[in-house]
A and B are shown apart, each in its own frame.
Chain A
Amino acid sequence: MSLQFVVDGLLTGSMIGLGAIGVTLTYSILRFSNFAHGDFMAWGTYATLAVVSAIGAMFGKVAPIGPLSFGWPLLVALVVGMAFTALLALLLDRVLFSRLRSQGQAIIVVMASFGASMALRSLLEFAFSSRPTYFSRAIQIAMPVGFGIRITPDQIALLLLTAVLVLGVHLLMTRTQTGRSMQALSQNAALARIVGIDVASVVRVTWIIGGALACVAGVMIGILVQIRPFMGFDMLLPMFAAAILGGIGSIPGAVLGGLIIGLAEAGAVQLIGAEWRAAISFIILMAVLSVRPIGLFGVRER
């Protein structure tokens, strides 16, 4: 068995982990599992793609940065896409989730997110058709780095980006007042409100972080794999499994869970074949639920 699966697994794991951060935050702070989170990914990716093509139309062909397959337009577009996805999440919360939340039945919100997910995805299919597209058709030469492992410059860059983002979110959660408010709200909503935490602003920050990271994860898939309307929906089960494996509410847990699932998937692709890949997250999910339902870093619910 070649060690290549380590690189593949870390990359898949980064995509899953970045998405799982949003899932775990929504789950712990807003207390529902958001089935539309995968579609935030897809929407963010298509928004980024649209901005890239718009920049391409304005400035002509832009040379890529160093050995990477993309140039500055993609970086600019990514920032715009992140903002767009955050706004989309906020909008969906305003028109749908917040109203249902105020009725007090958590599971109705889950169902609404399922409906919203279907509508969002089909809207993408309508606008862009279900044919896959790509950010770039350039083929990168993978460099050997020893132990039979090969890696492309894009992959290195994206792994670094993931590390920076995860560290950033972790610092935000642990070192800033906003982050502490988010933690307080997830641990004890009633008490958090009594000490005067601005719930509405915490909810906004939750959606902004979740949406922005979903967009980054989607763009990573777009660069390394392909862009399709179903790209986010197919990530849903791995993201949920990662969030639960890591322990609901824990950011390091979500990322670690994502990496574990990514590595397991990549290993399984080598051992039993790519077609069974999607079953891995389900097996891990069932194992976690039966052995340790609170996950690796989870806390028992009060």
Chain B
Amino acid sequence: MDLLGYGAFFLTTALIFSLVTLGLNLQWGLTGLFNVGLAGFVAIGAYTSALLTTPDDAVRFGGFGLPMLVGWAGAMVVGGIAAALTGMATLRLRSDYLAITTFGVAVVVQLVALNAQKLTGGPFGIGFIPRPFGSLAETPLLFNLSNLAVVSAVTLIAYLALEHLSRSPWGRVLKALREDERAAISLGKSARFYRVQAFAVGGAIMALAGALQAHFTGFIAPDNYLPILTFQVWVMLIVGGSGSNAGAIAGSILVWAIWAGSGTLTSVLFAPEQQARAASLQIVAIGVMLCLILLIRPTGLFGDRPRRPEPGKQAKPAAGESGS
């Protein structure tokens, strides 16, 4: 019984991660936009939904006590707008600038979460976030299973919608832009416009995942949205194989299993005072894994098609190419 409860809890967390990964797959896998600040967009979603749905709180802004679905919708809107603004500011420039800017977004969101106490509750975060089926919390198994059902349903909807989008004319334009920008532009497609859209939709999905997570745990704090989150999701996408939505979900579950498993392992193997150090070794292992996959199997475990080496990309070769 306990095992079933834990399984449900594990899968819920993994599926929330896979929702973030799906958003990243739309941005990176389908469109080729590099987001190293996704933790910031997840945080925006979590905080937006928390502010909208928690009961009124005297010491900080809001607590509007709105229904949960309004919170989720609000999270998607705010996350989407934040991503659209980021995209509009940088997408006409080199791809690296988007990476640096998203990195900055995550830093600033983290700062706001920590310091704007009136808005975000500061380092102590926001508690008492309403949980779906909160009335079932006395029987953890039922509670976990019903939450799993909710999260699975949302993930499934997101998956189907993204699958549909990537096959739609819209998705084909994105792929065309990724594969051969010049050809796509010459067909009259505005590269920047489509990319901003994809980046915004991806950001909205990440924000929704943040909101789900917030309502699942009932409590959020700035510590939940450190760069390590960004890193985990990237590993999930690369392991699963970028470009494939099914791969994104499978990669998320697999990497989260490895992460949770190695966490349990270190807690058994190491003395309590050594745990913090052992946890850092866990990150080293995952970092090395990411680099190895990039080197050995860039398409990931479930990646459907290898990216063809593109002659078009040789226009601006890196300096060391022939040298080393």
Give A contacts to B, CB under 8 Å.
27, 29-33, 35, 93-94, 96-112, 114-120, 122-123, 125-126, 129-130, 185-186, 189-190, 192-193, 198-203, 233, 236-237, 240-241, 244, 275-276, 278-279, 281-282, 285-286, 289-290, 293, 301
**Cα(A116)–Cα(B294), bound, Å:** 11
| Interfacial chain B residues near A281, Cβ < 8 Å | 104
Q: Within the complex, which residue of B96, B108, B291 is in contact with A32, where a contact is CB–CB below 8 Å?
A: B96
| Interfacial chain A residues near B314, Cβ < 8 Å | 104
Give B contacts to A, CB under 8 Å.
32, 34, 36, 89-90, 93-97, 99-101, 103-105, 107-108, 111, 114-115, 227-228, 231, 234-235, 238, 276-278, 280-284, 286-288, 290-291, 294-295, 298, 307, 309-310, 313-314, 316-324
Q: Within the complex, which residue of A30, A129, A275 is in contact with B111, where a contact is CB–CB below 8 Å?
A: A275
Q: Within the complex, which residue of B278, B284, B320 is in contact with A101, where a contact is CB–CB below 8 Å?
A: B320
| Interfacial chain A residues near B90, Cβ < 8 Å | 289
| Interfacial chain B residues near A199, Cβ < 8 Å | 319-324
Closest to A277 in B: B111
| Interfacial chain B residues near A112, Cβ < 8 Å | 290-291, 294
A203 touching B323 in the complex, CB below 8 Å, given contacts A33-B99, A35-B36: yes
| Interfacial chain B residues near A125, Cβ < 8 Å | 276-277, 280
Q: Within the complex, which residue of A115, A193, A278, A293 is in contact with B291, where a contact is CB–CB below 8 Å?
A: A115
Q: Within the complex, which residue of A123, A202, A240 is in contact with B319, where a contact is CB–CB below 8 Å?
A: A202
Q: Within the complex, which residue of B89, B235, B319 is in contact with A286, where a contact is CB–CB below 8 Å?
A: B89
**Cα(A274)–Cα(B228), bound, Å:** 24
Closest to A240 in B: B100
Interface of A is mostly: helix
**What would 27 A/B residue contacts be, using CB atoms closer than 8 Å?**
A27-B96, A33-B99, A93-B320, A100-B295, A101-B318, A103-B298, A106-B95, A106-B318, A107-B32, A107-B34, A114-B231, A115-B288, A116-B287, A122-B280, A122-B284, A130-B280, A189-B316, A189-B319, A192-B319, A199-B323, A200-B323, A200-B324, A203-B319, A203-B324, A276-B111, A289-B89, A301-B94
**Cα(A67)–Cα(B84), bound, Å:** 54
Q: How far is the CB of B174 from chain A (nearest CB, A)?
A: 16
**Contact between B231 and A189, CB atoms less than 8 A apart:** no
**Cα(A185)–Cα(B320), bound, Å:** 10
Closest to B235 in A: A115
Q: How far is the CB of A266 from chain B (nearest CB, A)?
A: 17
**Cα(A99)–Cα(B111), bound, Å:** 36
**Contact between A289 and B111, CB atoms less than 8 A apart:** no
| Interfacial chain B residues near A33, Cβ < 8 Å | 96, 99-100
| Interfacial chain A residues near B103, Cβ < 8 Å | 35, 236-237, 240
**Cα(A122)–Cα(B227), bound, Å:** 12
**Cα(A292)–Cα(B174), bound, Å:** 28
| Interfacial chain B residues near A29, Cβ < 8 Å | 319
**Contact between A126 and B281, CB atoms less than 8 A apart:** yes
| Interfacial chain A residues near B238, Cβ < 8 Å | 111
A129 touching B277 in the complex, CB below 8 Å, given contacts A33-B99, A285-B100: yes
**Cα(A33)–Cα(B103), bound, Å:** 12
**Cα(A244)–Cα(B93), bound, Å:** 12
Q: How far is the CB of A202 from chain B (nearest CB, A)?
A: 7
Closest to B317 in A: A189
Q: How far is the CB of A191 from chain B (nearest CB, A)?
A: 12
Q: Within the complex, which residue of B105, B231, B276, B295 is in contact with A129, where a contact is CB–CB below 8 Å?
A: B276
14 additional A-B residue pairs with CB within 8 Å, beyond A31-B319, A115-B234, A122-B282: A30-B319, A96-B291, A104-B313, A106-B95, A107-B34, A107-B95, A107-B96, A115-B287, A115-B294, A117-B287, A122-B287, A200-B323, A237-B107, A278-B107
Among the interface residues B115, B291, B319, which one has the most CB atoms of the partner chain A within 10 A? B319
**Contact between B34 and A110, CB atoms less than 8 A apart:** yes
